[in-house]
Structure 1
Amino acid sequence: MLAFIPPTVLSPLLSLLIFIVGHGLLSTLLTLRLNAEGVAAGWIGLVSSAYFAGLVIGAFVNVRLIRRIGHIRAYAAYASLLAVLALCHGLLVDPAIWSGLRLLGGFATGGLFVVIESWMLVSSSAATRGRLLAVYMILLYGGLAAGQWLLRYIDPLQLSPFALAAISASLSVLPLALTRVPLPQTESGRNISLLSLARLTPSAVGSCFASGLILGGVYGLLPLYFAANGRALEAVANLMALVILGGMLLQYPLGRLSDRVDRRRILAALGIGLLLLSLLMLLASQLPWSTLRASIIFLFGGLAFSLYPISLSQACDELTPEQMVSANQGMLLAYSLGSMTGPLLASQAMQYTSTAALFVYFATCGGALALFLFWRQKQRLPVSADNQQSYMPMAANTPLAGELDPRTPDSEPITGHQEDEAEVDIPR
């Protein structure tokens, strides 16, 4: 079934899987440890926002470093830094220090994803890129979910879980270090500013921003909500895994549905769905029906994680194919601004009211998104079904998604130097 994957792509995919398990563990572990230490929700939100700030900086800035020193050496540097940072979190438990550590961690993680996605780009063809992206998404979300389940077997007050995250980052270097692959040399497309992009496709940009607002809260504050509402560590791990699995399993059917109708209607429906599920979660939290809560959380994850890729498909419908590679940078920036802002806003509401304010926040975001998209439907006619592009699952990791996307033109990279030659050009 996976015969279409070139052997040279197996290395970055295996590295991704090894790294992302520890990454998923660490992301939730940090929130639970801060909560166990009695840290205020506002600080927890700041720590989460710092990570997303570093992630977007790394995704855009680290390209120059990778071009100068080469993929494998850059990946080894990022992974080593992430291993050290994971251990520092366990040794120095202070929210102010952790904010700085998470900023650096986001920076290194952004660069790490640039290495993996650019390696995938040069090692695949336009004919196989769509299926390769699907495998990439499955491994990404599957690894994140597996990291949540590891929480069931660790003590967040000990150093050992931080050591596990460090080991995961270190081991992820091995598959890449044992592989040689030609590196890509491609030309950058014309840059499109975020403001110009918002004029060209306001529905897509607005939905990407809303996706960041919601997912920033999911990653950074949802574990805090579960823990503060009396859930045992095992239950927190299971519920966080359900959120991610919902995102993995429901993205494709929702995306295919958006191929048949105006995507703005689907995005508005997702906003309404998130609003209703958030209100149901507030009611279900008062009931002993664990199955009901689990079902709501699963559906919530499916809708929340579907916002970004469907927003990208909406942009594909309203932009020319030549614009999409550069426009993807603006879409990622809109998402990142949302993911940096979301934890700050939600955590302040939680700190000064109660943890239930998190789902009030999610409901507000979903409702505001739906109202915005209903208004946009009155301002611009929908793209005809014949002119709609096919849906593709995407993750908000790096701007390289635009070049990995098989819907963009000229997606065949120009094969360049081997890895031992450091001066190479990679997709910007």
Structure 2
Amino acid sequence: MFQVLNASWALLLGIFMLMLGNGVQGTLLGLRGEVEGFSTTEMSIIISAYFLGFLFASRMAPRMIQRVGHVRVFAALGSTISAILILYPTLADPWAWAVGRVIIGFCFCGVYITAESWLNDSATNETRGKALSLYMIMQMGGVVAGQYVVALGDVAGFVLFVIPSVLVSLAFAPILLSVRPAPAFEVAKPLTVRELIKISPLSCVGMFALGGVFAAQFGMTAVYGVKVGMTVPQISIMISTIYIAALLLQYPIGLISDHMDRRWLIAILSMIGGAGAFIGVLTDNYWLVVVAAVAAGGTSNPLYALLIAYCNDYLAREDMAGASGGLLFINGVGAIIGPILVGFVMDNVGPQGYWAYISVLLFGLGVYAIWRMTQRSTPNLESEDQSNMAYVMMQTATPVAVEVAQEVWGQAEEDENT
């Protein structure tokens, strides 16, 4: 681990600060929108706009890096994020916020792709697994820490918008001042959506459903909290538990997934998450609502990586990175539609519609997973190496990170054959 930190501390520190800033602004907008008098429908559109930008960047950012290099892309995207964050409180209009969210979503997605490919270059075949695990810990840790920053300030003021702007600006300093040269970057050719549906219908349906769940958790949780009368510290604790539960459960779920039919695990986790979310429909007790957040967050986030691992059970190694990119695209489409749907439900049935929406999606995924088991036999993992490969992807689960894991696995195969 010390070897990894020595090689990648600047990048990991920068990612933590970036996610700290992103965690602050994600929750802050939901709270400030209520202060500004935005309706639930308007806030749902604003939240969806972030994922629209993410969707564009997943296609465009890799080509930007190829064209002008990591350093310029980092600098351009980082300065843009910082500027938009400062502009939010000065442009208290839902459409202006929506445009800003599209831009910020694009920039953050580009930053993630850049950071992951840079991390790949700084690690060796022996340290990549540890490096990617630390990368995911820094991401989750930054989002969790961001919730407690929100609780320390006044959401009606200006300071809480300045803090994430400063954090994002400072995040790039250790990265851009690193003496390590920027790596070369190659774009993996994605599989088409039609090809992915043919390969793994369950993974595609699951990724679409989880896109809606993630978008609700990331942006609409704060809106729900305000609607039911929670204080800012209470909302911050509730949101942080979503990511803490995911961080704690990711590793054991990854281990279990390599020793059973993943579809059973997908079904079980979906049902647990759906049942947990349904608790929020039945009660307004704060601590029971936190239990609902733990159940939904602790299952939905590992499900994302589990669905990618399951899809890859049916793929050749050279197609894995492309499939991950395609699944990310499907997830993004779900994330765009999700907040608009949950906003509509909350407007018509009340704040508990937030939990009802998440519960229906997770229960639906569980039922579909069980049905798919009647349509297809259990995938036959060719070797222990393929099982290990799937576990690595349980911890990474992004297109660039999957490509890194793919390289590690390929190197291990070469070592065994020599």
1:366 is displaced (CA, Å) by: 1.1
Q: 1:299 to 1:53 in 2, by over 3 A?
A: same
In 2, are the aligned partners of 1:308 and 1:395 still within 8 Å (CA)? no
The one-character-per-residue Cα deviations of 1:226-263 (angstroms, maximum 9, x if unpaired) are 12111111100111111111111111112221111111
User: Could you say which residue in structure 2 is the equivalent of 1:417?
Assistant: none
Q: Give the distance between the partners of 1:362 and 1:404, measured in 2 at CA.
A: 32
- 1:403 maps onto 2:403 in alignment: yes
1:306 is displaced (CA, Å) by: 1.0
In 1, are the aligned partners of 2:254 and 2:395 still within 8 Å (CA)? no
1:273 is displaced (CA, Å) by: 1.1
User: More relative contact order in 1 or in 2 (CA 8 Å, sep 6+)?
Assistant: 1
- 1:110 maps onto 2:116 in alignment: no
Which of the residues 297, 302, 306 maps onto 1:301?
297
Which of the residues 345, 368, 374 maps onto 1:372?
368
1:269 is displaced (CA, Å) by: 1.1
> Equivalent residues in 2 for 1:123-162 (5 A)?
123-162=122-161
Q: Give the distance between the partners of 1:31 and 1:395, measured in 2 at CA.
A: 28
1:395 is displaced (CA, Å) by: 5.6
User: Could you say which residue in structure 2 is the equivalent of 1:334?
Assistant: 330
Which of the residues 350, 354, 358 maps onto 1:354?
350
User: Could you say which residue in structure 1 is the equivalent of 2:241?
Assistant: 242
> Equivalent residues in 2 for 1:261-276 (5 A)?
261-276=260-275
Structure 2, unmatched stretches of 5+, are 413-418
User: Could you say which residue in structure 1 is the equivalent of 2:70?
Assistant: 71
In 1, are the aligned partners of 2:254 and 2:306 still within 8 Å (CA)? yes
After TM superposition, the score normalised by the length of structure 1 is 0.90
The one-character-per-residue Cα deviations of 1:21-66 (angstroms, maximum 9, x if unpaired) are 1110001100111122221111111111110110121232022222
In 2, are the aligned partners of 1:322 and 1:408 still within 8 Å (CA)? no
User: Could you say which residue in structure 1 is the equivalent of 2:340?
Assistant: 344
Question: Which has the higher mean CA deviation after the structures are superposed, 205-214 or 21-30?
Answer: 205-214
1:293 is displaced (CA, Å) by: 3.2
1:72 is displaced (CA, Å) by: 1.9
% same residue: 27
In 1, are the aligned partners of 2:71 and 2:182 still within 8 Å (CA)? no
Q: Residue type of the partner of 1:138?
A: I
Which of the residues 321, 324, 332 maps onto 1:325?
321
In 2, are the aligned partners of 1:14 and 1:172 still within 8 Å (CA)? yes
After TM superposition, the score normalised by the length of structure 2 is 0.92
In 2, are the aligned partners of 1:214 and 1:342 still within 8 Å (CA)? yes
Question: Which has the higher mean CA deviation after the structures are superposed, 79-88 or 375-384?
Answer: 375-384
Specify the SS of the correspondent of 1:379: coil
User: Could you say which residue in structure 2 is the equivalent of 1:49?
Assistant: 48
In 2, are the aligned partners of 1:121 and 1:403 still within 8 Å (CA)? no
Q: Give the distance between the partners of 2:408 and 2:55, measured in 1 at CA.
A: 22
User: Could you say which residue in structure 1 is the equivalent of 2:2?
Assistant: 3
User: Could you say which residue in structure 2 is the equivalent of 1:311?
Assistant: 307
> Equivalent residues in 2 for 1:158-197 (5 A)?
158-185=157-184, 188-197=187-196
Specify the SS of the correspondent of 2:3: coil
1:183 is displaced (CA, Å) by: 3.6
User: Could you say which residue in structure 1 is the equivalent of 2:416?
Assistant: none
In 2, are the aligned partners of 1:204 and 1:314 still within 8 Å (CA)? yes
- CA RMSD of superposed structures (Å): 1.9
Q: Residue type of the partner of 1:312?
A: I
Aligned length: 407
Structure 1, unmatched stretches of 5+, are 413-428
1:186 is displaced (CA, Å) by: 5.8
Question: Which has the higher mean CA deviation after the structures are superposed, 368-377 or 378-387?
Answer: 378-387
The one-character-per-residue Cα deviations of 1:158-194 (angstroms, maximum 9, x if unpaired) are 1110000110111011101211323434655543111
The one-character-per-residue Cα deviations of 1:2-30 (angstroms, maximum 9, x if unpaired) are 22306342221111111111110001100
Specify the SS of the correspondent of 2:156: coil
Q: Give the distance between the partners of 2:404 and 2:16, measured in 1 at CA.
A: 19
In 2, are the aligned partners of 1:259 and 1:385 still within 8 Å (CA)? no
Q: Give the distance between the partners of 2:100 and 2:289, measured in 1 at CA.
A: 34
Specify the SS of the correspondent of 1:130: helix
Q: 1:187 to 1:99 in 2, by over 3 A?
A: closer
